[in-house]
Amino acid sequence: MAGVNRCIKYSMFIFNFLFWVFGCVVLGVGIWIRVRSNQEDVQVQVAFAGIDLLIAVGCIIMVLGFLGCCGAIKESQCMLLMFFIGLLLILILQIVTGILAAVYKPQIATAFSSIISANVDLLQSSSEEGKVYQENFQIFQNEYQCCGLLNGPEDWGKNFNVPINNQKVCECAVEKQSTDLCTYYRDRYIYKTYCGNKLISMIEENMIIIMGLTFGVAVIEVLALAFSMSLYCQIKRK
Q: Specify the pLDDT at position 156.
A: 92
More confident residue, 3 or 53: 53
pLDDT tens-digit map of 190-210 = 898 888 888 777 777 766 666
* Rounded distance between C-alpha atoms, residue 147 and residue 153, angstroms: 6
Q: Specify the pLDDT at position 199.
A: 79
Residues 121-129 have a mean pLDDT of: 86
pLDDT tens-digit map of 67-102 = 988 888 888 889 989 999 988 988 888 788 777 767
C-alpha pair distances (Å), 102 with each of 55, 98, 105, 144 = 24, 6, 5, 28
Residues 150-159 have a mean pLDDT of: 89
* Rounded distance between C-alpha atoms, residue 114 and residue 109, angstroms: 9
pLDDT tens-digit map of 12-31 = 888 888 888 888 887 887 78
Helix, strand, coil shares of the chain, percent, nearest 5, are 75, 5, 20
* Rounded distance between C-alpha atoms, residue 228 and residue 75, angstroms: 11
* Rounded distance between C-alpha atoms, residue 50 and residue 70, angstroms: 30
Strand partners, 191: 182
Taking the domains of the chain in order of start, what are their residue ranges? 6-106+207-237, 107-197
